[in-house]
Every structure is written in structure tokens, then in C-alpha cells.
Amino acid sequence: MNNNYSERLINLKNRYNPDGIFLSKAFSDLDISKLSYNSSSDDYVRFAMAAVDDKFTDDIKKAGNNVKMHLQRTLSNVDYEYQGSVMTDTHIKANSDIDLLVISNRFYNIPSNFELQSLINDYSLNTSQRTLVQDIINSPRFTEDSDAVLLQNRKVSEETLQRQYISCDTKKSKCVTIYNSDLRKYVDTVIACYDDDVFSLKNLREKKYRGIKIYEKNVGTGKTDHPFFTIDSINTKSALAHGRLKKMIRFLKNFMFDSSYNYQELKSFGVNIICYNIEVSRYNTLHYVELLLIMQQQLKKIITDSIYMSSLTSIDGSEKLFYDSNGNFYDKKFNEVKQLENELSVLINDIYYNFKKAI
């Protein structure tokens, strides 16, 4: 790990302000309750927790909207939505792009009639829920090849974006990635369909509860995610803590990026889960340095409490953090949590050492 926080601070500031322009949002988002001493490690923490500036975010959304505009000319019967960290304002300048979901609205996946009938028999359903499920049972099912529909959307998207962008990567299975050279931003175009699973149906197919299945080129659709529910959950919980949840998420992302250790398994997905599962009451009034201690305690709990570690799932409850769908343990991801806790301990000790010197 690179423990030279002066160097890390310079690198971080250069990422956030490469042109030396005063960026109002990035600076105003910093916690103004500074400690009474000047320390590179302390400054690094505050900058690493800060939101990126409005211009960066506006540009990345503009790049996404440009892609959407091009696709609207050639694709029909699709809805466009965004997912990911930009929508929760937890993105960082190190590796940010934006995910544009291109969702077919010609069909949506639903449970089997047997599962739907079992749901009807669930006495916990209210009248509106029962009516919705019964209407779906009575409606004709989509009889065309849904994967063929999504494959066609993928082909049209590739052809359209290749005509518009010099840099257009069509080799990735889950997305088409373009680089907008004018705005200097990446956009991932993700072909998908809706999945109105039980979670969605029980919530009357309200947008934030609807499931999404991503189409993988030459593979088909995979597992169901609920990206809108995740976005709403992070935004809502962070608001309860006056933005502190997002500060912790941004910090860990920047901290891992700036490390000399190469984190490969513990990505944004894992960082979101780790921070989201900390009870708001533990940190909703804390100073930014105290947030480091909260994160350290959370990492230690994951390392030492196997029951707690095993219980951690994605925010929508669909995926375990440390186990795959077959119950296999992610050793490398768990080891990265231990590495992260160790690095965080070094940082905390450095801040504490400088504080003791100043008093």
C-alpha cells in the first residue's frame, strides 16, 4: 500500500480538479468540522469522501443522453433507464462511466402459472395485489423468442453506435461501451428486459421494485437484479444520515483505487453492501474521521463474525456477497476485505499519530 498521504492527496486532488478550476460542489461537500491540525492523511480522507463536481456528473449524463438519442433513431419498443453509482452520487473520478439500460417493452418475464396461482393463495396479499396477479394469469403470454428480440436490440445498438463513435467496443458480453471523446466519458449500453418477479408483483409493479434481466451476447438473460430499488434504497438511507452513507461509499472506492494493492474482487457492488448494512444510528451524527472507525468496525465484524459475514446480501436481497449461487465461498473477495481493514487501520493510526503530535 502507498502510505505517502501527501502523494495520495495530490493524486486525488488532480483527479477531482485536473484543470485547477475551483469546483464548488466538490469543496462544499467536504465536512467543515476539521480537526485542529493540518495533516495530509486527514485532508485525504475529507477529499476522498467528497462528491465529484456537478460538471463531471452533468457531462457523464450528457454522454449517456447522447447515446440514448442515437439509439432512439433506430430502436423501437424499448424503454431507457440509468443504473449504477452515478444515480446515487457515489461515483468517483477514477473509473466512472454510466450504464444506459435499453429495456425491451415488448414483453416482460413473469413467474410460471403455478407460481402465480400459489401467490394468489397467499393470504397476505391484499385486493389490489390479487387482482394484478389474476390479470396476469388471464393474459396471454408472449409467444415469440424473447432472446431473439434482445439479440436484435443488441445488433441494432452495435451497428448504430459503431457509426457514431470512433471508440466502440462490441466484444463485451453484457454491454456495448463507447467513449465520447468530446466529453471524455464512457457509456455502457446494456440490453435488458423487465422481470416482474414476486418482489415486483407484491409491490404492484411500481418502477422501483421491477426486476431487470441483462442480456448477455450469445448467452441469453441471466439473474434478476432490482437496480431501481438499490438506487432508491441508497439515496433514502443516506438522506437519513445527512449524506454520510454516500461519504463512506465514496471513501472506500477512492481508498481502494489509490492503494498499491490491486483490488479485483471487492468492487462497487461489495462496497455498497458493506456500507449499507451499517445501522444509520451508529453514524448519523459522526465527524468524518469517526466514520473511518465505523467502517473499520464493520470490516472487522465481517472478518471475525462468520454468521454476520454469511448473511450479507445485495440491497435487493437477491445475491450473497461472499457466496455464489451454488454456495461456493469467494475466498479472494474475503481476503480483500481483510486487506482493506488492514490498510484502513494504518490510515487511522496515522491520523491519530498526527493528532497527538498537534496537541
Amino acid 218: pLDDT: 87
What's the domain count of the chain? 2
Predicted confidence (pLDDT) per residue in 182-239, tens digit: 999 999 999 999 999 999 999 999 999 999 999 999 899 999 999 999 999 999 999 9
- Percent of the chain as helix, strand, coil, to the nearest 5: 55, 15, 35
Task: State the first-to-last Cα distance of the chain, in angstroms, to the nearest integer.
Answer: 28
Statement to judge: residues 219 and 121 lie in one domain: yes
Statement to judge: residues 152 and 43 lie in one domain: no
Amino acid 7: pLDDT: 67
Among residues 180, 195, 226, the one where a domain terminates is 226
Among residues 209, 226, 243, the one where a domain terminates is 226
Pairing of strands 97-109, 185-195: parallel
Statement to judge: residues 141 and 157 lie in one domain: yes
Mean of the pLDDT values across residues 321-330? 96
Predicted confidence (pLDDT) per residue in 143-170, tens digit: 999 999 999 999 999 999 999 999 999 9
HSE at residue 261, side-chain half, CA atoms within 13 A, is 20
Specify the CATH number for the domain of residue 62. 3.30.460
Statement to judge: residues 270 and 343 lie in one domain: yes
Statement to judge: residues 90 and 44 lie in one domain: no
- Angle, alpha carbons 240-274-5 (nearest 5°): 95
Statement to judge: residues 72 and 190 lie in one domain: yes
| Position 13 confidence tier, pLDDT thresholds 50, 70, 90 | low
Q: Provide the angle, in degrees to the nearest 10, between the axes of the packed helices 244-258 and 227-240.
A: 110
User: What percent of the chain is predicted at pLDDT more than 90?
Assistant: 79
Mean pLDDT across the chain: 90
**Residue 118 one-letter amino acid:** S
Statement to judge: residues 343 and 262 lie in one domain: yes
Statement to judge: residues 134 and 37 lie in one domain: no
Amino acid 1: pLDDT: 42
Statement to judge: residues 48 and 59 lie in one domain: no
Predicted confidence (pLDDT) per residue in 28-78, tens digit: 454 444 444 456 888 889 989 999 999 999 999 999 999 999 999 999 999
Predicted confidence (pLDDT) per residue in 14-39, tens digit: 665 554 444 444 444 544 444 444 56
Mean of the pLDDT values across residues 327-344? 97
Q: CA of 143: how far to CAs of 56, 104, 108, 140, 332, in Å?
A: 44, 15, 12, 9, 43
Domain holding 296, by residue range, is 5-52+231-358
Among residues 205, 226, 247, the one where a domain terminates is 226
Statement to judge: residues 209 and 308 lie in one domain: no
Q: What is the pTM of this model?
A: 0.88
Q: Is a pLDDT exceeding 70 seen at residue 131?
A: yes
Statement to judge: residues 243 and 318 lie in one domain: yes
Determine the distance from the C-alpha atom of residue 217 to the mean position of all C-alpha atoms in its chain, rounded to a whole number: 22
Statement to judge: residues 153 and 59 lie in one domain: yes
Distance CA 284, CA 316 (A): 23
